[in-house]
Structure 1
Amino acid sequence: MNCYECSQSGRTAQAVAVCKVCGAGVCSNHVRTEPKTLRGPATPGKMVHNQEARQLTCPVCRAAEQSS
């Protein structure tokens, strides 16, 4: 799979990730990584726990998320 962003500029680069929001392939130059905290469910006898994760997006979806 090739990077969608690069293909829009007439270049070809191998995708290293898939945007979580739109599903576009993105190369290492275009992928945006953001930390995200996941909350685990509480069950009887267990507390809710937070787990650190990451979210990979393309530049377009990242900009849209930041604007809202």
Structure 2
Amino acid sequence: MHCLDCRAQGTTSTAVGVCHDCGAAVCHEHTLVANRVVRGGPLLGRPGEVMARTIRCTTCAAVQAA
């Protein structure tokens, strides 16, 4: 699979991940890794929280930052 942003620029790079928001394949250069909180656990009582990674393309990362 190839990076969608590189392809739009007329180059070819191997994708290293998929954007969590839009599903585009992204290379290392066009990837932004962010942390997010994932909540889970029992339905009754206090849920637990863990940190997880989220991969975003530079376009979706810019929208999230705004």
Residue matched to 1:7: 7
Could you list the structure 1 runs, at least 4 aligned residues long, displaced by more than 2 angstroms after superposition.
Answer: 41-44
What is the deviation of 1:39? 1.0
TM-score for both structures, normalised by structure 1: 0.87
Unaligned runs of 5+ in 1: none
Residue matched to 1:31: 31
What is the deviation of 1:8? 1.1
Residue matched to 1:49: 48
Residue matched to 2:58: 59
Which structure is higher in strand share? 2
CA RMSD of aligned residues (A): 1.3
Q: Identity of aligned pairs, percent?
A: 33
Unaligned runs of 5+ in 2: none
- 1:13-61: CA deviation from partner (whole Å, max 9, x where unpaired): 00010001111000011111000011114434x5311111011010000
TM-score for both structures, normalised by structure 2: 0.90
Structure 2 counterpart of 1:65, one-letter code: Q
